[in-house]
Amino acid sequence: MAALSSHFLEAILFLSLFLLAPRGQAQVYTTYNQYDPAAKNYQLDGLYCATYSAHQPLSWRSQYKWTAMDASLGMGPQMCGQCLEVVTNTATGAHVVVRVLDQSSNGGLDLETDAFNTIDTDGGGYASGHLYTSYTSFSC
C-alpha cells in the first residue's frame, strides 16, 4: 500500500509540474489589432477576457501590452491574464511581453499595434500584414 501511495504522489507531482510549466509555440501567424487601450483607460469592455479579468486594477490592466489568442493555440478562460513572451526576427531577437485578454479568429496571435511594431524591427510584418512568431506563456 505504501508503494502505491508513493507512486501516486510521484504521478501527481509530475502532472502538476507539467501543468505549471511554461508552454509555447513556434511559427505562429501573428497580426496586429488597434486595441488602443490607453485611449480607453484600459477598460476590457468587449474583450473575451472581460468576464474573467475586468475586476483587475488599472495597474494590472496596463502593465503589459495586449494580445488576442486563437482557440487553436489553446485560448480559453484559463489563458485570460496569462503573459506571453513573443519572440520573432531571429536576426535581431526582438521580443515583447504581452498579456492575453482577447480571443482571435486569425489562427494565431493578434497583438496590440504597439506590441507588433516592437518586434517588427525591419517593417516586413507591417508590409505583409503579419509576422511568424514564437512564444512562451507564463503566469504574470
CA distances from 22 to 18, 38, 84, 85, 111 (A): 9, 29, 9, 10, 20
Per residue in 126-138, pLDDT (tens digit) is 999 999 999 999 9
pTM, to two decimals: 0.80
Homologous superfamily of domain range 22-138: RlpA-like domain (2.40.40.10)
Q: Where are the domains of the chain?
A: 22-138
- b/e code 50-62 from CB counts within 10 Å (16+ = b): eebbeebeeeebe
Per residue in 75-100, pLDDT (tens digit) is 999 999 999 999 877 667 899 999 99
Which distant-in-sequence residues (6+ apart) come within 8 Å of 3 by Cβ?
A: none
Residue 20 banded pLDDT, cuts 50, 70, 90: very low
Residue 26 banded pLDDT, cuts 50, 70, 90: confident
